[in-house]
Amino acid sequence: MTPIDYGRSFVIGTGASNECRFWIESRLRFIDEHGIVEEYLQGGSCKSEYTFVAADLFQPDNYDFLPVFGPELGIYFRRKAYRNENYKSYVPNNEMFGGVTKHLVEAGHARELVTNEEVREATYRMSPIVAQIEIANPDTGLRAIMECPIKTMNTEKGGDHYQVDSGPLIFPDLSQRVKRRVELLSLAFVAFNAPHFADFVLEKPTEITPDSGEASCQVHHFSELISLGSVNRLFAL
């Protein structure tokens, strides 16, 4: 799986009323042992807005909006300040901004960073770095490769250490088989500092209990912690 150049990869809507362009923030390749491969693209976040009006562009009950584009169905994530029922909705491709055109630019000179020293040196050179995190579940026969640009990197010369902390990215639940694989997707952040495991924090309904003892409420928040065996690759572009 050749990394894409995230600085130059986009999707753009073809609808007459709003040709909305989204920067690609992560990519997921779903691989089934029966030979089925599906690819999903996560667009960058924005805020709910009224487009092309003369004034007051942002909607008053505002929410974070994030799209995921898939082969048949995509996802609209709408995150309000409270747990809203339409947080996740599944949308046919042709209804997402009138259908979208994908512009994915493969990285022409991607170099895999094999050692910790190579990771640190690429970080010091300010090279764009892309991660691929591969996970698998032999019980279900499902495998996935998550890919994202590294926005945050921690390094330490003295101990020859690095640590990735980046996201959000598309995270797949490989523990079950369903007819519509798009239903297995959620949003997560990833952290890893070795090639053989990755830790994730997933966005889930999260209970908030005020110190005052008042009634609690729920929000969508990155709160569920998962650690998985994985194959992690880093590439300098």
Q: Which is higher by pLDDT, 216 or 111?
A: 111
Q: Confirm whether 1 is domain-assigned.
A: no
Q: Do 167 and 209 belong to one domain?
A: yes
Give the whole-angstrom CA distance, residue 77 versus residue 100. Answer: 17
213 pLDDT band (50/70/90 cuts)?
A: low
Is the per-residue pLDDT at 145 higher than 90?
yes
**Lowest mean pLDDT, pick from 137-141, 177-181, 215-219:** 215-219
Last residue of a domain, one of 68, 103, 138: 103
Average pLDDT, the chain: 95
Last residue of a domain, one of 103, 126, 158: 103
User: How confident is the model over 68-120, as pLDDT tens digits?
Assistant: 999 999 999 999 999 999 999 999 999 999 999 999 999 989 999 999 999 99
User: How confident is the model over 157-166, as pLDDT tens digits?
Assistant: 999 999 999 9
What range defines the domain where residue 200 resides? 111-236
Q: Which helix H or strand E contains 143, and what residues bound it?
A: strand 142-149
Q: Do 141 and 210 belong to one domain?
A: yes
Residue 189 to residues 167, 222, 226: CA-CA distances in angstroms?
4, 8, 10
Determine the straight-line distance between the first and last CA of the chain, rounded to whole angstroms.
14
Question: Which neighbouring-strand residues pair with 79?
Answer: 64
Q: Do 118 and 44 belong to one domain?
A: no
Q: Confirm whether 23 is domain-assigned.
A: yes
Q: Do 98 and 117 belong to one domain?
A: no
Output the CA torsion sign for 87, 177, 22, 131. positive
Q: Do 31 and 86 belong to one domain?
A: yes
User: How confident is the model over 12-66, as pLDDT tens digits?
Assistant: 999 999 999 999 999 999 999 888 999 999 999 999 999 999 999 999 999 999 9
Mean pLDDT of 162-181: 96
208 pLDDT band (50/70/90 cuts)?
A: confident
Question: Which neighbouring-strand residues pair with 205?
Answer: 220
